[in-house]
Structure formats: C-alpha cells, structure tokens
Amino acid sequence: MTTFRLLCECRSRVRSVLGSVFGERAHVDQFLPRPFVFLNVQTGERRTVIAPDQTWAWRDVEAGRFVDPPLVRVSNTNEVLGPVDREEAHSNGFIHRAVHIEIVNREEEFLILRRDDGRSEEVSGHVDYLEPEQEPEDNQHAAIRELYEELELYRNWGVDINEASNRLLPHLVHHASAVNQLLGGNTLHYNNEFVEVFRLTWDGEWGDPTNYVSNAAQWLPLEKIVQLAAGGSTFMNSALQLFLHRNSAMAPRCPRT
C-alpha cells in the first residue's frame, strides 16, 4: 500500500470518528499496517502510531500529517549513524538498511506481487529508525512488518502484528546478506542499501495469498521468473533482480557505475 493511499484512508477514517478537541487520544476503528509518525506541524511534536496495538490519533488532523518513519543511515561498514529522511537518503545516496523477503511454498514456487503499474516485485522494505527508542528497528522485526503490510495480514488474517509474528517467525529464516545499488523501482534514484535477506516458507494452513492480496500475486517457479526477466515485458524491483542474481539466473540490471 502506498503512503499516499494509506494517508487518504487514515485521514478519512480519522475525520469520521474524531471530534475537534486538540491533544486528546481517541481509538480509531482501523488497522494501520505499519508504524507511522504523527507530526503536529504547529508544535513540532512527533508521536509514533503503531496499530493495531495502539490505534489512536490526535483529534486535530488538520494541524498535522502522517509521515513515514526515518530510515537507518549507516556508514560504509554498516555502523549506525542515526536517522535520515527517506527522500533525503535516496536523493543524496546515503547508505541505509533494508530487508528483502523470499516467500516460497512447498512446491518451490516463489510468491511474486504485480503492482498496478505493471511492476513485478518481491516483498521488501526499509528498516526504520525507531524514534521513541532512538535506535534502529531489528532486521527480523522489519521483515515481519513488511510481510504484515504487503500481504495485508491485518485484514486478511484479522490479527495484530504480534499474533502475525507468532505465526510467521517459526517459518522465517535469515537467508543472505547483500549490498543493493540498483535503480529504485519507481524513481530515478539508485538504492544504496545494506540488505538482509529472509526466506519465509509458506504454511498451507494460512490459505493462499494469491486469493486475498490486493495486488495481483502469483506463485511462480524460478524458471518462469527468469523467463519474465528475459522477455523484458515487466520491470522488476531491485529485490527481485537481486533474487535472480543470487540464484545465478541473471546479472542485476542498472548497476552503479
């Protein structure tokens, strides 16, 4: 789900259930798929909103806005330097952390998402810098959070992120580490990321995500994914390009020169 789409849905729901008294907390009848920071642009105060465990928002939504959490800026040896705005990170090439998640079923098929704009993607996302704790998010937690968001488990499973984590963790393993300097999926900027790759073995008892994920999703064997890449009919996000590179199926496109 894009930040803009989520923002619109959040603001619409908040307006419908909240009053006009500024500064009070109120429960919101909506799951948010990932942590967001509520910024009051008048006072500069920032609050982290993590749903569905803490589904609250400030009442004066016209005085604030939802913004993505900052990323974890790191050195060229992956030492934490502190938080950085994601647009600033991508525009300036600042090194930051990310996670990629391979999802495989028992038939050795991989789950590929297809966006409305035609992009084919592997589940991936940034590691957030947690402002209240003033420390980086754990890589494994970032992987769980991205699965929770991209597969819309808050709606499709009807559980909070803690319950989803309890189900997913026994099937999630660290698979590889990589450096991603490929072209971003929907920007003209190159990535500059230290990536931790996780592999999730899908449990058939969870149902088939191709039946309930909003974006078109397919289970495809490696050979079919290679054919899609070779045909050039679809743009693959950098996570999927690196997946093919790890499996010696193709060289990554658009390397940094």
The more confident residue out of 41 and 109 is: 109
Inter-axis angle of helices 161-168 and 139-150, nearest 10 = 110
pLDDT at residue number 250? 52
Q: What is the C-alpha separation between 203 and 52, in angstroms, rounded?
A: 24
How would you class 121 by CB atoms within 10 Å of its CB: exposed for 0-12, middle for 13-18, buried for 19 or more?
A: buried
How many Cβ atoms sit within 10 Å of the Cβ of residue 96?
24
For the cut 90, the answer to whether the pLDDT of residue 97 exceeds it is yes
H helix runs in the chain, sequence order: 3-17, 86-92, 139-150, 153-156, 161-168, 222-231, 238-246
More confident residue, 185 or 101: 101
Query: Among 50-64, 71-85, 88-102, 109-123, which stretch is predicted with the lowest mean pLDDT?
Result: 50-64
- For 62, counting Cβ atoms within 10 Å of its Cβ (0-12 exposed, 13-18 middle, 19+ buried), the class is exposed
The CA radius of gyration of the chain, in Å to the nearest whole number, is: 19
Provide the whole-model pTM: 0.73
Q: What percent of the chain has pLDDT over 90?
A: 42
Cα angle at 56 between 145 and 63, to 5 degrees?
110
CA-to-CA distance for 106 and 96, rounded, in angstroms?
33
Reported as half-sphere exposure (CB side, CA atoms, 13 A), residue 163 has a value of: 12
Q: Is the pLDDT of residue 233 over 80?
A: no
Structural domains of the chain in order of their starting residue, each with its CATH number: 3-67 (no CATH), 71-246 (3.90.79.10)
In this structure, what token pair is assigned to residue 81? Answer: 């330097």
Is pLDDT above 90 for 50? Answer: no
How many angstroms separate the CA atoms of 224 and 130, rounded? 39
Helix, strand or coil, per DSSP, at residue 42: coil
